[in-house]
Structure 1
Amino acid sequence: MAKHLQKPKIHNVEAIAKSRLFTVESVDLEFSNGARRLYERMQPSGREAVLIVPIIDDHLVLIYEYAVGIEDYELGFPKGLIDPGETVLQAANRELMEEAGFGAGRMDTLSKLTMAPSYFSSKMNVVVARELYPKRLQGDEPEPLPQIRWPVADMLALLNEPDFNEARNVSALFLAHQWLNRG
C-alpha cells in the first residue's frame, strides 16, 4: 500500500544527546509536498532482538524481570539482543538458556515486530520454542529470574494479569495463539 508514497528527503542527521546506552539524533526531513520538520529518534544500532515463547508440557514458560522504566517487575517471555554473528534461532536458544534455564529442540520464527518506529529502529523477532530440555547458561541478568508456567489452553487469560502488560509480550502472545490454533 505504501509503495506509491515518496519517502521524505533527509537533509541532516546529528547527535543531540548521548548517554552510556543511548544516542538521540535530530533528523531534518523534507516531505514530498515541501513541508520540513525536525524529528528526534534513537540512533539506529543495526542490531535486532529476539523474544521467545517457550512451551513445555502444554504450558508457556514466563519469567519475572525488573523493568526500571516502570520501576516494577513485569511478567513476560525471555528476550534479548542478537549478538554479532548469531542467527535469530541461535540467539533465541541462548537467551532461553540464560533467562529460563532451557534449551529448545524445535524453534519456529513467527514474525518480526517494530516498536514505536517513529522513534526506534529496533526489530524484535518472535520465536516459539518447543521440545525443551534443561540447560542453563550464565547471562547478564543481575538476579535470578523467577519463572511461572501458564497453561497453553488458557493462554489468553494472561491478558487479565496485572503484571503482563508489555506490548511486545502481548503481541507475541497473540501471534503464538494464532500459530498454535492455525488449524
Structure 2
Amino acid sequence: MPSKLLPEILAKSTVARSKLFSIEALDLRFSNGEQRTYERMKPSGRNAVMMVPVTEQGDLLLIREYAAGTENYELGFPKGLIDPGETPQQAAVRELKEEIGFGARELIALKEVILAPSYFSSRMTLFIAQDLYSEQLDGDEPEPLELVRWPLEQAEELLTHLDFSEARSITALLLALRHLKS
C-alpha cells in the first residue's frame, strides 16, 4: 500500500453539540495544496464492544431493542461502551450480564472495527462469548430487552431477517461463523 503524507490540520472547532455528541470541523491542507473542511464526530476516547454469545446447546443469543435511528425494534447482538478503567474483555462480560443475564468465561476477540471512519474514530471490539453462566446486572436500558435464541445451524438465515440489519451485527456474525467453522 503506498504511503501518503497525512493532511495538515490547520484548525479544529466544535460546530454543534448535543447531550450525546459533539460535531467538530477540521480545516485540512493536503499534500497537493488542496484545502478542505471535514466534519466528524468529535472523538470521545471511549470505545465499545459487541459479543456473539454461543450457548452450549448451540444457540446464538441476540437481543431485540428499540433503535431511535430507525424508530423501530432491531435484532442484534449485545453491545455497549467500555467504561473508564475497563478492558474490552471486562466491558464485554459486564454488558452480557446487563443485557442478556449471562456472563462468559471464554471470550475470543474477532476483530476491531470502525463504523464509519470518515466521520467517527471510535472502535468496537467484536467477540465470540462462550462458556456462558447465569448472572444478571442492572443495565441502563429504559425497558427490559427481549432475549432471542437463534439456532447456530440456522445462523446464515439471520442475514435475510428483516430486523437483523445493523452492519456491526452482520459483521460480527460473519466473523464468528468463519471462526467457528475453522
Report the alpha carbon displacement of residue 119 of structure 1 after superposing the two structures with TM. Answer: 0.6
Aligned letter for 1:54?
P
Aligned letter for 1:101?
G
Aligned letter for 1:169?
S
Q: Over the residues paired in the alignment, what is the CA RMSD in angstroms? A: 0.7
- The 5 A counterparts of 1:98-137 are 98-137=98-137
2:177 corresponds in structure 1 to 177
Mapped partners of 2:46, 2:167: distance in 1: 20
Q: Tell me, what secondary structure is at the counterpart of 2:60?
A: strand
Q: Tell me, what secondary structure is at the counterpart of 2:162?
A: coil
1:49 corresponds in structure 2 to 48
2:26 corresponds in structure 1 to 27
Mapped partners of 2:20, 2:131: distance in 1: 36
1:9 corresponds in structure 2 to 8
Aligned letter for 2:47?
E
Identity of aligned residues (%): 54
Runs of 4+ with >4 A deviation:
none
Aligned letter for 2:102?
F
Aligned length: 181
Mapped partners of 2:176, 2:137: distance in 1: 25
Mapped partners of 1:61, 1:46: distance in 2: 29
Q: Tell me, what secondary structure is at the counterpart of 2:54?
A: strand
Q: Tell me, what secondary structure is at the counterpart of 2:63?
A: strand
Report the alpha carbon displacement of residue 133 of structure 1 after superposing the two structures with TM. Answer: 1.0
Aligned letter for 2:27?
D
- The 5 A counterparts of 1:87-102 are 87-102=87-102
**5+ unaligned residues in a row in structure 1: which ranges?**
none
Report the alpha carbon displacement of residue 144 of structure 1 after superposing the two structures with TM. Answer: 0.4
TM-score by length of 1: 0.97
